[in-house]
């Protein structure tokens, strides 16, 4: 860009005819950067051997469920049968841990059950390598 400066203090009343291209260049650079960013990245194709519809795996077998209830007085119930002691419960856990697949343990403690009884049942299950343990029907513990 050139600019003429007159030595007499700018006596020319002629308008400047030259266009200011700086904003135009700025806008063009922004548009160019946006265009480059929005270009989709080329992805490399990977061949996959997908299973054929006739090779469908058999439907999964639902796991066996063992219901363990803990009453307010510390009574432990295994699938509807009262467990006389913690040692008997551990023997049940050992038998169930040998199965393949391992059954799921659904633990239903009473809202008034003592924490130490529940903790002992959980510790016995973990000690005997039971892997699938869950609390069921805990809606009664919520304070709504």
In this structure, how many other beta carbons lie within 10 angstroms of the beta carbon of residue 110? Answer: 17
Average pLDDT, the chain: 82
Fold (CATH) for 65-137: Nucleotidyltransferase; domain 5 (3.30.420)
pLDDT-derived band of residue 138, with 50, 70 and 90 as boundaries? low
pLDDT tens per residue, range 20-41: 888 899 999 999 998 888 876 6
What angle in degrees, to the nearest 10, is found between the helix axes of 86-97 and 115-127? 40
pLDDT of residue 27: 93
Stretch 79-98: mean pLDDT: 92
Question: Where exactly are the structural domains of the chain?
Answer: 65-137
pLDDT of residue 141: 54
Alpha helix (H) ranges present in 44-108?
86-97
pLDDT of residue 88: 93
pLDDT of residue 56: 65
């Amino acid at each position: 860009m050139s600019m003429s400066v007159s030595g007499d203090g700018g006596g020319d009343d002629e308008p400047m005819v030259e266009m200011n291209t700086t904003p135009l260049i700025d806008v063009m650079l922004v548009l160019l950067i946006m265009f480059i960013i929005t270009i989709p990245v080329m992805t490399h194709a990977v061949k996959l051997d997908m299973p054929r519809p006739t090779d469908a795996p058999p439907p999964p077998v639902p796991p066996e469920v063992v219901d363990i209830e803990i009453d307010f007085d510390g009574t432990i119930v295994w699938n509807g049968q009262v467990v006389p002691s913690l040692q008997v419960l551990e023997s049940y856990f050992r038998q169930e841990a040998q199965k393949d697949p391992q059954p799921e343990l659904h633990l239903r403690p009473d809202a008034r059950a003592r924490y130490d009884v529940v903790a002992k049942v959980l510790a016995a299950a973990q000690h005997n390598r039971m892997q699938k343990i869950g609390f069921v029907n805990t809606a009664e513990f919520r304070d709504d």
